[in-house]
Amino acid sequence: MSVSYDKFNLKEVINASGRMTILGVSKVSESVLAAQRFGGEHFFEMSDLSEKTGAYLANLLAVEDVQIVSCASAGIVQAVAAVIGKGSLTHVYHPYSTTIKKKEIILPKGHNVDYGTSVELMIQQGGGQVIEAGYANMCSTEHLESCITENTAAILYVKSHHTVQKSMLSVEEAVAVAQKHEIPLIVDAAAEEDLFKYTKLGADLVIYSGAKAIEGPSAGMVIGKNPYIPWVRLQSKGIGRSMKIGKENILGFTQAVTDYLEHGSESGESMKHRLQPFVEELNHIDHLSATIVQDPAGREIYRASVKISDRSAHSVIQALKEKIQQSIHEIIKRIMVSLNLTYVRSIKKKCKKSLFACKKS
| pLDDT tens-digit readout, 168-214 | 999 999 999 999 999 999 999 998 989 999 999 999 999 999 988 89
* The two domains 30-263 and 266-356 share their CATH topology (first three levels equal): no
**123-163 pLDDT, tens per residue?**
999 999 999 999 999 999 999 999 999 999 999 999 998 89
The whole-angstrom separation of Cα 147 and Cα 155 is 10
Distance in Å from the first CA to the final CA of the chain: 43
Given a cut of 70, the residues of the chain with pLDDT beneath it are 1, 297, 320, 323-361
Domain layout of the chain by residue ranges: 30-263, 266-356
Q: List the helix and strand counts (H, then E) for the chain.
A: 13, 13
pLDDT at site 31? 96
By CB atoms closer than 10 A (0-12, 13-18, 19+), residue 46 is: middle
Q: Is the whole-model pTM more than 0.75?
A: yes
DSSP label at residue 67: E
Angle of CA points 17, 253, 230, to nearest 5°: 120
- Alpha-carbon distances of 22 from 15, 44, 158, 332, rounded to whole Å: 11, 31, 20, 10
- Whether the CB-CB separation of 62 and 206 falls below 8 Å is answered with no
Which CATH number is associated with domain 30-263?
3.40.640.10
- Whether the CB-CB separation of 238 and 81 falls below 8 Å is answered with yes
The whole-angstrom separation of Cα 115 and Cα 201 is 25
Which CATH number is associated with domain 266-356?
3.90.1150.110
The whole-angstrom separation of Cα 79 and Cα 70 is 13
CA pseudo-torsion sign 258, 29, 36, 204: positive
The whole-angstrom separation of Cα 343 and Cα 322 is 20
pLDDT at site 325? 60
The whole-angstrom separation of Cα 223 and Cα 254 is 13
The whole-angstrom separation of Cα 126 and Cα 51 is 22
Q: Which helix (H) or strand (E) holds 349?
A: helix 349-356
